[in-house]
Amino acid sequence: MKRISFLTRFFIVFTFVFLGCSQKKSDSKTQNNTVSTTISVPVFNQDSAYSYVAAQVAFGPRVPNTKAHFQCGDYLVLQLKRYGWEVTEQKFDATAFDGKQLKARNIIASFNPSAQKRILLASHWDTRPFADQDQKDKEKPIDGANDGASGVGILIELARTIQNTSQKPTVGIDIIFFDVEDYGQPDYSTLPQKPDSWCLGSQYWAKNKHKPNYSAYYGILLDMVGATNAVFAMEGTSMYYASDVVRKVWNTAAQVGYGNHFHQAVVDNIIDDHYYVNSLAKIPMIDIIEYNTSGEQFFGNYWHTHNDNMNVIDRNTLKAVGQVLLHVVYAE
C-alpha cells in the first residue's frame, strides 16, 4: 500500500535535532500537545463504525473504474449528507503507473463550514487492485477491510456522532476521503519506475484544493486503524512535519486510557497521503497507521493480501481510534 522510503536512522536523529531547534515555532501554532480530559466528549460507538466498514467491503474491492468503486462512492456521499455535512465531490482523471486512465473522486465533507479554525481528518477509500504481497492470486484485487475501509468507517461514525450530539465542537472540521491512494506501482512491475505513483488523490487535492486558499490548523490521516490489537507508533514523516500534533494525539490517547494502542516510540518514515498534504498543501498532517512490532515489515501481515478482510477488523480498535479523535477535536 505505501512505499517505505528507506532512509537511514540518521534521518530520525537529524529530525529530532531539527525539531529541537524549531519546537517553539512549531508549538506556537498548536499551542500545546495535551488536551483537557474534563471537557464533555460524546461516546464513540464501535458497533456503528464496524457496520460502516462492513458496508464498504460488501460492495467488493473499490478499485477505480469498477462498479463497486462507483457504488461505494455514492454510498459514502449519501451517508455524509445524511448526517448534515456539506459535501463536495472532486472528480478528476488520474493516470496510473501503467498509463491506465482512472475515473476518480475525492469526497470532502465539512462541518461548521464558516469557521476559520479548521481541523482536517482524512482516509483513503479505494482498495489495492492487486494482492502483490500474497502468495497466490496476486493479480486479483483485495477487500481492503483495514486498508481503506477502517479509517473511512471511523470518520463516518465521527460525522454521525457529532450530528447527533447536542454539544458540538467549536472548530470547523473537514473530512476528506482520498481516492486512488492504493494504485501504486508494485515492486514486481517490469515497467520503468514511475515516481509518485501512490496517493494520486491526495496529490491532486493538494494541488487543486476544494476551496480557494483552503488551509487547516492541522490534519490527521487514518490508515489501517481497525485490526485486532493494533499498535500505532510515531511514524517518521509525521514526526518530521508535525511532531507537536503527534504528541498531542498520543498524549490524549494515554490520558483517556488508550495508551496500549498508541505507543510512544518513533519508527521509520513512510510515504502516505499525509506526505503530500504536508509537502504540497503545506498543512501539518500526521498519520495514525498500524505498525507491526514484530519487525518483519512495517505493516500488518494482512497488508496487500487477500487476508485483509472483515476477519481482521476489531471493534475495540475502532473504538480506541474514534474516541481519541473525538477528544482531540472537542478540545480545540
Domains and CATH numbers, the chain: 3-330 (3.40.630.10)
Residues 200 and 198: their CA atoms lie apart, in Å, by: 6
Residues 161 and 79: their CA atoms lie apart, in Å, by: 12
- Any residues with CB less than 8 A from the CB of 211 and at least 6 apart, and which? none
Residues 8 and 5: their CA atoms lie apart, in Å, by: 9
Residues 183 and 129: their CA atoms lie apart, in Å, by: 7
- Residue 35 half-sphere exposure toward CB, CA atoms < 13 A: 27
pLDDT at residue 154, rounded to an integer? 99
pLDDT at residue 19, rounded to an integer? 44
pLDDT at residue 3, rounded to an integer? 53
Contact 289, 235 (CB under 8 A): yes
Residues 55 and 245: their CA atoms lie apart, in Å, by: 31
Contact 220, 324 (CB under 8 A): no
Contact 106, 179 (CB under 8 A): yes
Task: Say how many C-beta atoms besides its own lie within 10 A of residue 306's C-beta.
Answer: 17
CA-based nearest residue to 152, from 113, 109, 203, 114: 109
Residues 88 and 216: their CA atoms lie apart, in Å, by: 17
Residues 214 and 279: their CA atoms lie apart, in Å, by: 15
- Any residues with CB less than 8 A from the CB of 15 and at least 6 apart, and which? 236, 239, 240, 243
Residues 205 and 203: their CA atoms lie apart, in Å, by: 6
How many angstroms separate the Cα of 281 from the Cα of each of 39, 215, 216? 31, 8, 10
CA-based nearest residue to 3, from 273, 239, 309: 273
Question: Number of helices (H) and strands (E), helices first, in the chain?
Answer: 8, 10
Contact 301, 236 (CB under 8 A): no
Q: What is the pLDDT along the chain (332 residues), one digit of tens a residue?
A: 565 544 434 444 444 444 444 443 344 344 456 555 568 999 999 999 999 999 999 999 999 999 999 999 999 999 999 999 999 999 999 999 999 999 999 999 999 999 999 999 999 999 999 999 999 999 999 999 999 999 999 999 999 999 999 999 999 999 999 999 999 999 999 999 999 999 999 999 999 999 999 999 999 999 999 999 999 999 999 999 999 999 999 999 999 999 999 999 999 999 999 999 999 999 999 999 999 988 778 999 999 999 999 999 999 999 999 999 999 999 99
CA–chain centroid gap for 9, Å, is: 25
Burial pattern 115-125, b for ≥16 Cβ within 10 A else e, equals eeebbbbbbbb
Contact 240, 273 (CB under 8 A): no
